[in-house]
């Protein structure tokens, strides 16, 4: 009997030791980073231009629109809803921006404000229908996807509207100087170290488990090296693309909202168990409506970036973007069942999707192959999510 107890104790010690080594690492996020590295190496071997600074700069610029949409989509999905209209909102608000810039000759700041307001109003309308009229978000946004595309065709007379305002165009095509990139890298590393130390200290104060110090240092060094490598690569071409700053800024803001505010906690509570959230006194209707306002607002930001980068607005702008945004969220770990998901995960997912698009385009693969691959990866990601949930039950 004593021998059995001793063996069991040794097993427990081993399990505890392994848990201490692993700590609180976000396995899904690091798996996705590994997937990105594998994708880049694969396409880099097949095509010499894929890993060049120029192509990677273009890749990050292309990624910005999907990332911005995914940031808003994460919160919507976490709350247990879906937004199929974001692509059409991008097209509509981009058309509005072009009309105010070209046809009306408005200054850049006015064009930006009008575009953002238009996106917020569209989101408010859809949010009101979902939250206060109890119409399923799938139906509301599916109708919006068609209606907003029709409105775009009507107000632009189904024509392409060019933009000549250099200040507006710079929002999607300008680059920051190398000095700015160096300062940004230093600030990012310093902030990373400070936040890691504060988080570790807080967990220790409350008696929670923490990652071993050596592993924590390795994590900081790994992430810092990624930041430095990114800046060096971008600086070796033209500098950091301006759209990436939109992504970084919005990711910081909405990560703070999701993780450090009452609103964010309410969203996760609603997605986890809406009835329990209601009984806890959470105003589900107002929170739901605000989610769609955020989604519409971020769609307008994405429209500004896309329209500025293309220097024009077209009736096809934003088509299928809603599927890319949803796929980015799911690949990044957001559950379609609601209740779980992160902003950072969605951005990593957007990078995976954009890397596949970029790599397959460089290889000259037909468009239908791109759709097949992306669709298959989306189904696979959902399958893995459902399988992992069943395993944890």
pTM summary value: 0.89
Residues near 35 by beta carbon (within 8 Å), at least 6 away in sequence: 352
Q: Helices (DSSP H) in the chain: which residue ranges?
A: 2-22, 27-46, 53-78, 86-98, 108-131, 137-155, 166-173, 178-205, 213-235, 242-260, 262-272, 274-279, 284-310, 321-331, 343-362, 367-392
- Burial code (b: 16+ CB inside 10 Å, e: under 16) for 96-133 equals bbbbbbbeeebebeebbebbbebbbebbbbbbbbbbee
Give the pLDDT of residue 26: 56
pLDDT in tens, 155-171: 999 999 999 999 999 99
Mean pLDDT of 309-323: 93
- Residue pointed to by tokens 């992504």: 247
Contact 130/291 with Cβ under 8 angstroms?
A: no
Mean of pLDDT over the chain: 88
Could you give the 3-state DSSP secondary structure of residue 206?
coil
Write out the two tokens for 21. 């080594």
Give the pLDDT of residue 111: 97
Contact 285/129 with Cβ under 8 angstroms?
A: no
Q: Which helix (H) or strand (E) holds 161?
A: strand 161-162
Can you tell me the distance from the alpha carbon of 393 to that of 383, in angstroms, rounded to the nearest whole number?
16
Give the pLDDT of residue 16: 43
Can you tell me the distance from the alpha carbon of 384 to that of 281, in angstroms, rounded to the nearest whole number?
34
Can you tell me the distance from the alpha carbon of 362 to that of 58, in angstroms, rounded to the nearest whole number?
12
Give the pLDDT of residue 5: 44
- Residue pointed to by tokens 């890397």: 355
- Pairwise pLDDT comparison (34 vs 128), residue with the higher score: 128
Q: Hey, how many other C-beta atoms are within 10 angstroms of the C-beta on 63?
A: 25
pLDDT in tens, 8-32: 444 444 444 444 444 444 566 677 8
- Above 80 in pLDDT, residue 91? yes
Residues near 387 by beta carbon (within 8 Å), at least 6 away in sequence: none
- Above 60 in pLDDT, residue 106? yes
pLDDT in tens, 325-347: 999 999 888 988 888 889 999 99
Mean pLDDT of 30-36: 81
Closest CA to 359 of 66, 29, 65, 55: 55
């Amino acid at each position: 009997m004593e021998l059995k107890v001793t063996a069991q104790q040794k097993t427990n010690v081993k399990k505890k030791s392994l848990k201490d080594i692993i700590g609180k690492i976000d396995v899904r996020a690091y798996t996705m980073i590994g997937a990105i590295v594998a994708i880049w190496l694969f396409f880099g071997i097949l095509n010499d231009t894929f890993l060049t600074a120029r192509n990677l700069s273009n890749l990050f610029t292309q990624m910005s629109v999907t990332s911005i949409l995914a940031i808003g989509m994460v919160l919507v999905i976490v709350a247990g809803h879906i937004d199929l209209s974001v692509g059409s909102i991008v097209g509509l608000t981009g058309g509005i921006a072009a009309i105010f810039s070209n046809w009306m000759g408005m200054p850049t700041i006015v064009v930006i404000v009008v575009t953002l307001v238009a996106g917020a109003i569209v989101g408010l309308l859809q949010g009101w229908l979902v939250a206060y009229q109890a119409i399923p978000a799938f139906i509301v946004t599916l109708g919006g996807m068609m209606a907003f595309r029709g409105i775009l065709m009507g107000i632009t007379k189904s024509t392409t509207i060019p933009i000549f305002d250099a200040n507006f165009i710079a929002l999607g095509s300008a680059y920051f100087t190398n000095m700015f990139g160096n300062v940004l890298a230093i600030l990012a590393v310093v902030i990373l170290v400070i936040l890691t130390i504060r988080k570790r200290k807080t967990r220790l104060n409350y008696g929670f488990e923490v990652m071993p110090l050596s592993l924590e240092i390795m994590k900081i060094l790994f992430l810092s090296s990624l930041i430095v490598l990114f800046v060096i690569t971008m600086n070796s071409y033209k500098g950091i693309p301006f759209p990436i700053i939109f992504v970084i800024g919005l990711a910081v803001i909405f990560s703070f909202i999701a993780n450090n505010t009452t609103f964010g906690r309410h969203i996760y509570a609603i997605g986890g168990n809406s009835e329990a959230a209601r009984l806890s006194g959470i105003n589900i209707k107002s929170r739901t409506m605000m989610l769609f306002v955020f989604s519409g607002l971020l769609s307008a930001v994405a429209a500004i970036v896309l329209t500025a980068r293309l220097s024009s607005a077209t009736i096809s702008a934003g088509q299928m973007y809603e599927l890319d945004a949803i796929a980015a969220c799911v690949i990044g770990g957001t559950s379609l069942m609601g209740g779980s998901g992160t902003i950072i995960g969605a951005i990593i997912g957007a990078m995976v999707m954009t890397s596949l698009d970029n790599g397959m385009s460089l290889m000259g693969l037909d468009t239908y192959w791109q759709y097949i691959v992306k669709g298959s990866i989306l189904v696979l990601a959902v399958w893995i999510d459902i399988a992992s949930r069943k395993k944890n039950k």
